[in-house]
Amino acid sequence: MNQTITDNQTSSVSEIRRERERAEMMERIMDAARAMFVQDGYGAVTLRKIALAIEYSPGAIYQYFKDKQTLVKAIIQKDQQDLRNQIMACMLFEEPRARLIEMARRYAQWGVSHPNHYMLLLAPPSSWVKQENELRQDTPTPLEQEAIKILYESVKDAMRRGVFKDKYANPSLIAATLWAGIHGVIMLEIGLTEYDRSLIGEKNLSFDDKFDMLKEVFLDGLVK
């Protein structure tokens, strides 16, 4: 009896270890793929090239992803869910200004700390967009969980509570402007070359400095 329990425990531990190792390898493959898609373009990347980049057997990579389309869908699903979770967590903030600021902060921090993820989600090559649209048709995300929809609803909530100055009465315009500002700050951080930074004297500015400036512009310009 005890031997049976021990065998079962050993089997369970082995299965857990195999699952962990498999998840780690899939993550490694996706990380390499993201970087290659951003650098080389969607069409130039193959599973074989990804395998070679991580010094893995070209044939063995098919144990994890049967083709490039499957890999792309896995990346899109994971990154969308990861970013969505960051935004959804902000709904715990009852006060609308604090909620909007925290949403912006988490969104921006995610983008800056995951530059390849962000570039593929928010500035993707045309072939990637096609894959993303197909995925949305196959496994659509509930509208209330879409990051932009969450921002829009939070703006409407803030408007109902009288947070914004009276002359700003269009929640769609406010939401679009806020998103454009956040997106712009992220893209400047992850996309500017050192030469570009030197042209605007931006070498000594941290990302936090730029985000805080964006926050102050939001508070001074839109909020009562």
Tell me which residue has tokens 């890999």: 71
> For residues 96 and 154, is the Cβ–Cβ distance under 8 A?
yes
Domain residue ranges of the chain, discontinuous segments joined by +: 1-66, 72-224
Dmax (CA) for the chain in angstroms is 77
Q: What is the pLDDT of residues 163-172, one digit of tens each?
A: 999 999 999 9
Query: In the prediction, which pLDDT does 130 show?
Result: 76
Query: In the prediction, which pLDDT does 163 show?
Result: 94
Bridge partners (DSSP) of residue 164 are 223
pTM: 0.82
> For residues 164 and 178, is the Cβ–Cβ distance under 8 A?
no
Closest CA to 124 of 167, 79, 161: 79
> For residues 57 and 47, is the Cβ–Cβ distance under 8 A?
no
Other residues' Cβ atoms within 10 Å of the Cβ of residue 132: 19
Closest CA to 108 of 183, 35, 34: 183
Query: In the prediction, which pLDDT does 45 show?
Result: 92
pLDDT at 11 over 80: no
Bridge partners (DSSP) of residue 223 are 164
Tokens for 59, please give them.
């044939």
Long-range contacts of 9-14 (CB under 8 A, 24+ apart): none
Q: What is the mean pLDDT of the chain?
A: 87
Q: What is the pLDDT of residues 71-95, one digit of tens each?
A: 988 998 899 889 889 998 998 899 9
Q: What is the pLDDT of residues 107-161, one digit of tens each?
A: 999 999 999 999 888 877 777 777 777 777 777 676 667 888 889 999 999 999 9
Q: Return the HEC string of the chain.
A: CHHHHHHHHHHHHHHHHHHHHHHHHHHHHHHHHHHHHHHHCCCCCCHHHHHHHCCCCCCHHHHCCCCHHHHHHHHHHHHHHHHHHHHHHHHHCCCHHHHHHHHHHHHHHHHHHCHHHHHHHHCCCHHHHHHHHHHHHHCCCCHHHCHHHHHHHHHHHHHHCCCECCCCCCHHHHHHHHHHHHHHHHHHHHHCCHHHHHHCCCCCCCHHHHHHHHHHHHHHHHEC
Q: Alpha-carbon distance 96 to 156, whole Å? A: 9
- Please tell us whether the domain made up of 72-224 is placed in CATH 1.10.357.10: yes
- Please tell us whether the domain made up of 1-66 is placed in CATH 2.60.40.1930: no
